[in-house]
Structure 1
Amino acid sequence: MINIIVGTETGTAEFVADEVLELLTSNNIQACITLEPVLKQLIPSPLWIVITSTHGAGDIPHNLHQFTQSVTNSNSDLSSQKAMIIALGDSSYDTYCQAGISINDLFLSANMTMITPMLKVDAMDADMPEDIVIEWLIQYIPSISDLI
């Protein structure tokens, strides 16, 4: 099962995650959303899709603090773990998508494999974030299907 890990402060990332879940399930890909990820429970998953906003001064949302700390302190071998990062932000700030960048760097330092480049979604864009994400994600459905 694919794990969609959501980092949110205002609910936007959670709404995007709901749309991603719908896309995956409509393509016969089992997935679930988690707002309180626990590293040991996620490790068996073939893919983590992290959808996170950035808040404050480039901070990771509060609900992901314990998870990112677990990854940082992990003695687990995460080299076989695959992930995707979808970062939501506002380009009018100098910390644009910093939470996603920080999580991407953390995963790379844990030797995880990023199966796509990180997607940055700008709140200043005229399109809705979920529309941007779905349009981008559709091209990776075959690759995701191959993982399960």
Structure 2
Amino acid sequence: MQVEIIVGSMLGASEYVADALAAKLETLGIASEIHLQPDTQQLDQNKLWCICTSTHGAGDLPDNIQPFAEQLKQQQLPQVHYIIVGLGDSSYDTFCQGGKKMHQLMQSANAILLTDPLYIDVLHHPIPEDEAEAWLENLFNQPDFKQQIHSLC
């Protein structure tokens, strides 16, 4: 099994979270590949997609994931299963808008969300990697989630 980790990051926080998620997956015996310049043509649609993105500016997606978001507008991905990790600051009214936009795009492409998105508030979790790792480990410890994931292989 492998997870495609799709990263949207401007200042590096989402990259750190993606690295932590990859390390946690490795401890669970699951391979992963991090994509800093994601392209739908290069991602395996039969693997779980983990989209990890921050929000930039006035609720915008980070520059590196914008081309991927544009690709999603042209795609139908009914065989893709995904999870979302969004990073944001709740002192802004655009809290986690990047993650929410990616979720909407994936839904519009008919992809299948496997669990509620994780939206991490960096005001309350200054080390978002810790929150993301705990969330991921909890997911993979749930028998129903494990069964869904293994059926993707």
TM norm structure 2: 0.90
Aligned 8 A contact 1:2 1:45 in 2: no
Letter in 2 for 1:46: K
Q: Give, in whole Å, the separation in 2 of the partners of 1:70 and 1:105.
A: 13
Secondary structure, aligned partner of 1:135: helix
Tell me whether 1:83 sits opposite 2:110 in the alignment. no
| Deviations, residues 19-58 of structure 1 (Å, cap 9, x unaligned) | 1000101111111101001101114341110110001000
Equivalence for 1:12: 13
Equivalence for 2:22: 21
Aligned 8 A contact 1:7 1:63 in 2: yes
Secondary structure, aligned partner of 1:73: coil
Q: Extract unaligned runs of 5+ from structure 1.
A: none
Query: Which structure 1 residue ranges, 4+ long, deviate > 2 Å from structure 2?
Result: 142-145
Aligned 8 A contact 1:3 1:45 in 2: no
User: What is the CA distance between 1:101 and its match in structure 2?
Assistant: 0.4
Q: Extract unaligned runs of 5+ from structure 2.
A: none
Q: Give, in whole Å, the separation in 2 of the partners of 1:126 and 1:110.
A: 31
Equivalence for 1:61: 62
Secondary structure, aligned partner of 2:85: strand
Q: Give, in whole Å, the separation in 2 of the partners of 1:87 and 1:79.
A: 22
Matches within 5 A, 1:120-131: 120-131=119-130
Q: Give, in whole Å, the separation in 2 of the partners of 1:126 and 1:66.
A: 29
Tell me whether 1:109 sits opposite 2:97 in the alignment. no
Tell me whether 1:139 sits opposite 2:138 in the alignment. yes
TM norm structure 1: 0.93
Aligned 8 A contact 2:45 2:79 in 1: no
Q: CA RMSD in A?
A: 1.4
